[in-house]
Amino acid sequence: MEPAVLGGKLASALVAPLVKKLFVTGGPGAGLVDRPVRLTRLVSFRGEQRHLGEAEVGRLAGRLVGASLNSPGEPPFPPDETEAVTHALTVRLLALGDLDMDDVQAVRLGHGELAAQLRRRTPSATGGLSADACHFLDSVTEWACLHILEFFTRRSTFVARTLVAQTRGQAELIAKVDELIARTPRPDARDTAFERRYLPYVADQHNRITIYGIDLRDSPDRWPLEVAYLSLEATGTEERAALPGEPPEPERTVHLSAEEALRGDDRVLLRGDAGSGKTTLVQWLAVTAARDGDRVPYVLPLRTLVRAGALPAPAAFLTAVGCPLTPPEGWAERVLSAGRGLVLVDGLDEIPAADRHRARDWLLALIRAFPGNRWLLTSRPTAVRPDWLAAEGFRELALTPMRRDDVATFVRRWHAAADAPAYEAKLLDALRTKRDLARLATNPLMCGLICALHRERRGYLPTGRKELYDAALTMLLARRDRERGMEAVDLGEEAQLELLQRLAYALVLSGRTEMDVETAEGIVERALPSVASAAGQGDAATVLRALVLRSGLLRRPGEGTLDFIHRTFQDYLGARYAVEEGHLDVIAGHAGDTQWEDVIRMAVAHARPGERAMLLRRLLAEDSPRLTLLALACLEHATALHPAVRAQVEARAGALIPPGTTEDAKALAEAGPLVLELLPGPEGLTDAEAHGVTVTASLLAGREPSGALAVLRRFRDHPALEVRRQLVGTWDRFEAQQYATEVLDHLVRKELFLTCATAEQRAATAGMRPWHRLEFHGAQTPADLVACVADPQAVEELHLVDNPAPIDVGELSAFSSLRRLGLYNCGKVSGARQLATLQLEELAIIDVPGITVLPELTSLTMLSVVQRLPGPRLTDFLPVSAPLEYLFLGSGTIGGTGLRGLSRWGTLQWLILPVSTPLTAADWEEVAELPRLARLGLSASLFASGLDATVTLPRVTELAFSGVRGDEDLSAVPDRFPGVRSVTVQAAPGVRLDAARYQALFPHADVHLDTR
């Protein structure tokens, strides 16, 4: 009999008073003045002041047993065992006095376990009883224990004592936990404590840059990064998705500030010329990340890492770069595993070509092991091929040459840091008026040198690159030892140059930018006997230390290593030594190595006319486009050269000019601004050549804006669409108003979009002849748009992209001629029903959560939607009355609706479904019910396991498959589309497909393979 059943027989009104008699009554309070109240002191039949004897307890037990037997229903045990059961229950109740626990502990124990302890203490109580009697005895014991615990909880002292016990228990637990933490601190606590030391260290370590020339007048040679850091610009290319019903858009260039490179992409390969500020950018990213605390930066110069042999695992990152802090074991792995790392790998071009693949494997292994972090790799532009890391998800960006505004900003900040305001205005005037000088001021290194030379020479500046370096070396080598107590070594400028160029040439030959101090000392030791002024100045170690301290060209990046302050000086001095020693064959023999490009250019500058001619002929003899362009670039440094050789170089370059393709145009631009003087046209050029010329000029706009503008201006009346698109797309490389006036306002508008992304561009748009097709980027309200358009009624097509500003569709009514509207990533759109007031023929909606349903658009024939549709059917969102002829439903769009209701648009002729949501048989039936459908575009992911639907679509004549990887099962497709006459197969990125396979599948159709 269960206690609950027994409880039905024994009313609480009977049991509770009996149980109460078993225990003494306590007073109020928590009982803190005495020892804990044990059960032996609570029962009324033990101790000196007992109230019940064993006979009384027996009578209480008899009353419980008797009440059970007298209750209605079947007796719980045979009546002849009444006395034995009563005795057994008495024994068990008396066992309460033997339990060594207090009331709080008993309640915590529970009535079941309390009854079990009573049974274990009285094993002989059930001797001779029947099974029914034993079962009754156990049940009544549990029921009594239940009431006993209820009695305890109602005592006045129980609640107070329970609170005290809980408080003491919590205090003991807290003390034990604190002791445990003190003995074994958690890993995250150790990590947090370490990062409080590491992040300030990184911020301080990298918050210093050298501003050339300032240290010449007893000024510090290292300055705070933020004082002179210039926010440069990076460019990259992206493919813009074709708008519905239009041909594919060409690849276009996008611009962003260099320090924002990792905000939109987790993996970036940043290219930049020597001195363009790559390492300074790495420092800036590290400092800002360390100060913000959102990422843990690791600055990893590859030139330092490769010297140690094996490239480091995360645990060895700090040791490898000489950080004096020791992190907790496993800290770096925990940071990267949590996706909190900012890994800045600097100088891919500064290690030998043989080590670059090893560096790539090392970097990719880290990325795969620790996804979710941010990775930046820097390199010179030609160190590796353009798509070297594209397959691994790296976006390639290039630091652009400084524009006129950037140069002006740098000059102002430089003079502020140098506290030399008197020279600022004079230099700015010189940079605006002297073309050759302006051409040299294309990166922070050259700007810094120009600023320093201008101040030191009180306005005198050389005009050529070689002359500028010669002057800079003279300035830097004239530094004096400003540290007191150092051993003075008097080395003349020529002696320093002789030793420095030998060190530089050794580095050039090794393909490295760092060398061991021991190796450098050996080179100096071998050179000392031939350098008279240095021979008596001490041993090799002393002379080398003097070069490091006084030349201004060498530095010690780490313990035991040596390098030049910038790779440009290494190449310049290495080329100087090679020419002096007659190593022209060595130089020409390395022409195929991109690391030697600047060495070859500077060798041409240092060489005599006959030597220059030999070098240039060697370059041309390789019959390589890159080396032909390199020879062309060398002409800039060949102040004296035989006319026949110059003519030969220019003639060979003529085979590359004009460029016939975009890739040829990009390669041509690598030769530098000199190319602008050679670019022909537009007369006599094909459309493709005209496009190539405009691409090359656009790429050179940052380095020579006036020359590039002069070229592009010649093409402003060209009729070809690709040429006009290029002219429109390069607007942001120039000053907005000037370019709008001299180029854009003259273009034929037909089929041309004008994109406005800045306030300056919007202001310039207002002053131009009307544009019929406009695209606006960024936050702008409809009122802003109307204000910057000269004639809103002339606008027929409007696209708003990445616009977080509120957009009330009703305000677009000012564009009364609007027929095509695109909203892309616009998060605050309201008044969607007002679209019905516009006579739209085409509408594109991509990621616009503010639009939840479209109104009835009775003139709409083309609709593109890329966002999840609400409701169970397409008709819940799409305009039912629209005479749609073209419908594009992007990825994720039909996850909830399927194609249910599609047959409502019987006018559809073209349906594109680049979706991954599997199509059911019912979906295919909806498609089959479209009587005019002739073109169908499908994602290849729909056919991963074949086509399981049984519907046949004989009216479809054109099929297009997107994202094809080659492993799809398309075998059943021809039978489902027996009328197909044209098939387009678009390969997934990086996939090569066999056209013959698809031609065999569709033998009666024209198959086109799209591998873009």
The domain in which residue 661 lies consists of 656-743
The mean pLDDT of 926-931, rounded to a whole number, is 92
Token representation of residue 395 = 């976006």
Q: Are residues 392 and 453 in the same domain?
A: no
Question: Residues 374, 295: contact at Cβ < 8 Å?
Answer: yes
Same domain, 687 and 805: no
More confident residue, 959 or 403: 959
Q: Over 80: is that where the pLDDT of 783 sits?
A: yes
- Do 469 and 453 reside in the same domain of the chain? no
Rg (CA), the chain: 43
Residue 474 lies in a domain: yes
Task: Using a pLDDT cut of 70, give the percent of the chain over it.
Answer: 79
Cβ pair 575, 600 in contact under 8 A:
yes
Q: Are 724 and 748 in contact (CB under 8 A)?
A: yes
Q: How would DSSP label each residue in 743-783?
A: TGGGS--TT--EEE-SHHHHHHHHTSSP-SEEEEESS--HH
142 and 76 in one domain?
yes
d(CA 534, CA 524): 10
DSSP letter at 241 equals P
**180-184, 328-332, 659-663, 1001-1005: segment of lowest average pLDDT:** 180-184
The domain tally of the chain equals 6
The pLDDT, as a whole number, for residue 30 is 44
- For residue 864, the model assigns a pLDDT of 94
Q: Which of 743, 773, 808 is the last residue of a domain?
A: 743
Q: 497 and 349 in one domain?
A: no
Provide the token pair at 863. Answer: 């609709």
In a domain, 650, yes or no: no
Look at strands 252-257 and 233-238 and give their pairing.
Answer: antiparallel
Residue 213's pLDDT band, with cuts at 50, 70 and 90, is very low
Report the DSSP beta bridge partners of residue 690: none
Burial 6-34 (b: 16+ CB within 10 A, else e): bbebbeeeebeebbeebbbebeeeebeee
Taking residues 830-841, report their average pLDDT: 86
Q: Taking 70 as the threshold, does the pLDDT of residue 823 lie above it?
A: yes
pLDDT at 902 over 90: yes
Assess whether 29 and 165 both reside in one domain: yes
> Is residue 206 in a domain?
no
Report whether pLDDT(945) > 90.
no
Cis ω on the peptide bond leading into residue 658 (within 30° of 0)? yes
Mean pLDDT of the chain: 80
pLDDT recorded at residue 607: 94
Tokens of 520: 């450098």
- Asked if 765 and 776 touch (Cβ cutoff 8 Å), the reply is no
Per-residue model confidence (pLDDT) at position 680: 85
Residue 482 resides in a domain: yes
Confidence of residue 355 (pLDDT cuts 50, 70, 90): confident
Within this chain, do residues 414 and 548 fall inside the same structural domain, yes or no? Answer: no
Q: Is the pLDDT of residue 301 over 50?
A: yes
- Is 238 part of a structural domain of the chain? no
- C-alpha distances in angstroms, 376 versus 282, 321, 403? 8, 17, 24
What per-residue confidence (pLDDT) applies to 861? 95
Q: Are residues 338 and 459 in the same domain?
A: no
* Domain assignment of residue 933, yes or no: no
Let me know if residue 79 belongs to a domain. Answer: yes
Question: 455 in a domain, yes or no?
Answer: yes
Q: How far is CA 279 from CA 344, 463, 477, 572, in A?
A: 10, 27, 24, 19
Do 488 and 396 lie in one domain? The reply is no
Distance CA 383, CA 270 (A): 12
- Verify that 396 and 503 share a domain, yes or no: no
Asked if residues 900 and 869 have their Cβ atoms less than 8 Å apart, the reply is no
Q: Is the model's pLDDT at 94 over the cut of 50?
A: yes
| pLDDT > 90: percent of the chain | 31
What average pLDDT does range 325-332 have in this prediction? 94
Give the residue with greater pLDDT, 48 vs 255: 255
Whether residue 475 has pLDDT greater than 90: no
Query: Where does the pLDDT of residue 390 fall: very low under 50, low under 70, confident under 90, or very high at 90 and above?
Result: confident
Distance of CA 775 to CAs 276, 833, 851, Å? 32, 22, 20
Same domain (yes/no): 435, 471: no
Domain boundary at 542, 575, 606, which? 606
- DSSP element (H, E) containing 443: none
Q: How many CB atoms lie within 10 A of CB 234?
A: 22
Q: Which of 155, 173, 191 is the last residue of a domain?
A: 173
pLDDT of residue 599: 92
pLDDT tens, position by position, 419-443: 788 888 888 877 765 655 676 677 7
How many residues would you count in the chain? Answer: 1012
- Tell whether 169 and 40 lie within a shared domain: yes
